[in-house]
């Protein structure tokens, strides 16, 4: 695949790029007049999109779609490596690749060069706000979390430009109030932390009502990490795709979500291989 190619996993198109190129594409939008949004599909989001065609359309219409998860890196390499292969090979390779994937650095980057998480891309973009002179608004998370996240980013990246924060929520009855607040300060970038699929749906419904916003992105629980309320996994665990194990240890209540990402998603890739391979790759 070419460096700028796109891949499709379970009906959702993903950009085959790393974080530096993703941030560059994100910021490039701010120099134009059009409005766009970015999404960071992980395994859970891809599974949700199978059950909700409207949500899948929202994901596919995004200007920037970066793979937030080791699962997407594994799935892309598995689908490419098993193209035009028989079922016996696919099943054998499924278990072999799933087991050895975390420990094989070269194999992890066969198709997708690196995992681009929402929190990493958000921080990268915010680090550029002072240099490129664009304004940022943080929407979502619990009361006060977005404000602390903005303060931490301003301290870490002097010159970064945050024009407002608001906790809010995805309820339809609150949309007019939130949109009015955002329009008062007129940010160019909007990060929304409502969680998937609510944040992407909220952006799709409301982006046109906020003319100053040139780029919006749903970032899930990113504010909690940036505010210091939650700790990320050690870097070596993130690199080899085992951040889920750290999250399970720290937050046992996430077992159901982690099960979907680590078990249900790979087997869905295996079982839906035939119907996807021709149109996906």
pLDDT in tens, 13-35: 999 899 999 999 999 999 889 99
User: Does 3.40.50 match the CATH number of domain 6-67+115-227?
Assistant: yes
Confidence of residue 61 (pLDDT cuts 50, 70, 90): very high
| 3-state secondary structure labels for all residues of 44-62 | HHHHHHHHCHHHHHHHHCC
Q: Residue 102 has what pLDDT?
A: 66
DSSP state for residue 158 in the 8-state scheme: T
pLDDT at 5 over 80: no
Q: Residue 280 has what pLDDT?
A: 43
In angstroms, what CA-CA distances link 14 with 65, 157, 243, 259? Answer: 5, 29, 21, 23
Render pLDDT for 124-156 as a digit per residue (tens, 0 to 9).
999 999 889 999 999 999 999 999 999 999 999
Give the global pTM: 0.90
Residue ranges of the chain assigned to CATH 3.40.50: 6-67+115-227
């Amino acid at each position: 695949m070419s460096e700028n190619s796109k891949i499709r996993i379970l009906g959702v198109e993903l950009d085959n790029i790393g974080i530096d190129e993703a941030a560059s594409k994100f910021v490039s939008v701010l120099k134009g007049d059009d409005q766009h949004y970015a999404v960071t599909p992980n395994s859970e989001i891809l599974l949700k999109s199978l059950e909700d065609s409207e949500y899948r359309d929202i994901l596919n219409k995004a200007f920037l779609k970066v793979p937030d998860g080791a699962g997407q890196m594994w799935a892309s390499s598995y689908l490419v490596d098993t193209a035009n292969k028989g079922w016996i090979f696919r099943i054998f390779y499924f278990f072999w690749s799933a087991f050895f994937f975390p420990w094989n650095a070269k194999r992890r980057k066969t198709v997708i060069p690196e995992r681009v998480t929402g929190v990493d891309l958000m921080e990268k973009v915010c680090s550029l706000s002072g240099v490129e002179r664009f304004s940022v608004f943080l929407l979502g998370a619990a009361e006060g979390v977005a404000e602390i996240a903005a303060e931490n980013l301003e301290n870490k990246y002097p010159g970064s430009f945050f024009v407002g924060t608001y906790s809010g929520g995805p309820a339809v009855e609150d949309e007019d109030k939130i949109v009015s607040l955002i329009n008062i300060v007129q940010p160019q970038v909007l990060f929304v932390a409502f969680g998937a699929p609510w944040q992407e749906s909220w952006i799709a419904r409301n982006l046109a009502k906020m003319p100053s916003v040139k780029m919006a992105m749903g970032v899930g629980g990113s504010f909690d990490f940036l505010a210091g309320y939650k700790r990320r996994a050690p870097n070596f665990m993130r690199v080899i795709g085992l951040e889920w194990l750290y999250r399970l240890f720290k937050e046992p209540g996430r077992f159901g979500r982690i099960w979907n990402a680590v078990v249900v998603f790979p087997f869905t890739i295996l079982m839906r291989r035939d119907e996807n391979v021709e149109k996906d790759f």
